Structure 1
């Protein structure tokens, strides 16, 4: 239906723009698909298609700008995939109720931290030629732990990756953003293959929406490269507040 395209495409564009800067675009795009009345599995699968198309563009943009380190990206991808596999196994044994309870504490605390800490997400340029062992080790641990979260529950994983890679691993924000995107792209494609092989992807809607996602991601990547933390920080706070609202609604429901 034409109505589906009119609802999904503008919101997927906005999601792509936000996702390129601060992650969390799925908090906008997935509800857009759900608003059309699609069954949940089709909404998730089709969203993975359009999201993967947009994330690919941002990943390429960041790679061209030097925001990716091959060694760091490679081991982070492996760690995230291992964590995601473990998270999916845990999800078969438990409900996401426990994660939602934890998020009700973590989300407002993180948003408050960003608002009060002027140095959070501050660095905008790469200032090191070689990453320390500590930075690499922390990045791997973070990728593994967020992989578990992504496999178990998922929403906002990109935002948490960006925050932890800058806050704990002490990566410059542009390198953290590049690493986040390559991890997101890998997990998106992995999930897309699963949904596609099970016939849960609406190709026409996903491909058309994917074009809007590409445009949104491209513009978001340009804004990120130009403004860095000045735009990443406020958008991250907004994403966290949206995520908190969604978590509360889901919990009460």
Structure 2
């Protein structure tokens, strides 16, 4: 595939934006995957390259939660183990789907996930007091990682937010602790699926490495913004970007006929 300067000009700001948004409100994948598709990457290369940049961007956030103690390692580690296995299975399944079909599935699923995340998330994120035995906590944590990790390997957008919801609803963690657990588990799911994509040669490093640097920078800036301003206006920003991306996809589909 021939890479052009315009591809970097389009991709890097969008990856920065996706990481920026993900650090504030979660759900950055609803922008990052369409960004790779937008510049013309086949679906499998888009998924693999996105996993690379997402993994690199998640390292600093995960380290921050561990360093500040806003994480239940007893649950997060078990969930991470489940997430590695689940995401590897999901990525293997994605590779079995023809690239054109996978792209269609992504373009249908991503707007649905985006609407659910950014219109219903506040309603869903109501913390309920839940008491679980150590054994039940381990079992639920592994299940969260396995199931959502499989989704992450197959598609991906919204994985972190779905994990936060599950840790909050099923284990009763406050949102900060749930976010910490989700960050570690999501990083593990990125590792599992990324290994599959790397072994199958589906990561375009010439794009993924610069995108990873933008992801790291975007996550850092997003965290600083969140501390000062919260998540105000983020949803409007997301829907404007998504609207422009999917207008382009719609035009491409019509022009191809």
TM-score in same-fold range (> 0.5): yes
Counterpart contact for 1:111–1:237, Cα < 8 Å: no
Evaluate the alpha carbon distance shift between residue 18 and residue 136 of structure 1 in structure 2; reply closer, same or farther with a 3 A threshold. Answer: farther
Query: TM-score of the superposition, structure 1-length normalised?
Result: 0.72
> Are the structure 2 counterparts of residues 106 and 168 from structure 1 closer, same or farther at C-alpha, using a change threshold of 3 Å?
farther
Tell me, which stretches of 5 or more residues in structure 2 are unaligned? none
Preserved contact between residue 22 and residue 158 of structure 1 (Cα < 8 Å): no
TM-score normalised over the length of structure 2? 0.71
Q: Which residue of 1 aligns with 2:76?
A: 73
Q: Is the 8 A contact 1:159 1:236 kept in 2?
A: no
Contact 1:22 1:162 (C-alpha < 8 Å) held by counterparts = no
Rounded to whole Å, the distance in 2 between the matches of 1:197 and 1:135 is 33
CA displacement at 1:78 relative to structure 2:
1.5
Shift of 1:90: 6.9
**What is the distance in 1 between the residues matched to 2:32 and 2:111?**
22
Match of 1:140 among 139, 142, 147: 142
Mapped to 1, the partners of 2:132 and 2:220 lie a distance apart of 28
Distance 1:77 1:160 in 2: 14
Q: What does residue 212 of structure 1 align with?
A: 214
Of stretches 142-151 and 52-61 in structure 1, the one that deviates more from structure 2 is: 142-151
Among 177, 194, 197, the alignment partner of 1:195 is 197
The residue number in structure 1 matching 2:231 is 231
Q: How does 1:1-253 map to 2 (within 5 A)?
A: 1-85=4-88, 87=90, 113-114=120-121, 117=123, 121=125, 133=134, 137-224=139-226, 231=231, 235=234
Structure 2: distance between partners of 1:65 and 1:162: 18
Alpha carbons 2:148, 2:159 under 8 Å: kept: yes
Q: Is the 8 A contact 1:45 1:201 kept in 2?
A: yes
Shift of 1:190: 2.2
CA distance in 1, matches of 2:204, 2:107: 29
Contact 1:79–1:144 (Cα < 8 Å) also in 2:
yes
Alpha-carbon shift at residue 216 of structure 1 (Å): 0.8
Aligned partners of 2:158, 2:149: CA distance in 1, in Å?
12
Compute the displacement of 1:109 (Å).
6.5
1:126 alignment partner in structure 2: none
Question: Residue 142 of structure 1 contacts residue 161 of structure 1 at CA under 8 Å; is this kept in 2?
Answer: yes
Which structure has more relative contact order (CA 8 Å, sep 6+)? It is: 1
The Cα of 1:42 is off from its aligned counterpart by 2.2
Offset of 1:35 from its aligned partner? 1.5
Compared CA separation, residues 59 and 37, structure 1 to 2 (3 A): same
In structure 2, C-alpha distance between the alignment counterparts of 1:237 and 1:164, rounded to whole Å: 25
C-alpha RMSD over aligned residues:
3.9
Equivalent residue pairs, number: 235
Whole-angstrom CA distance in 1 between matches of 2:93 and 2:51: 22
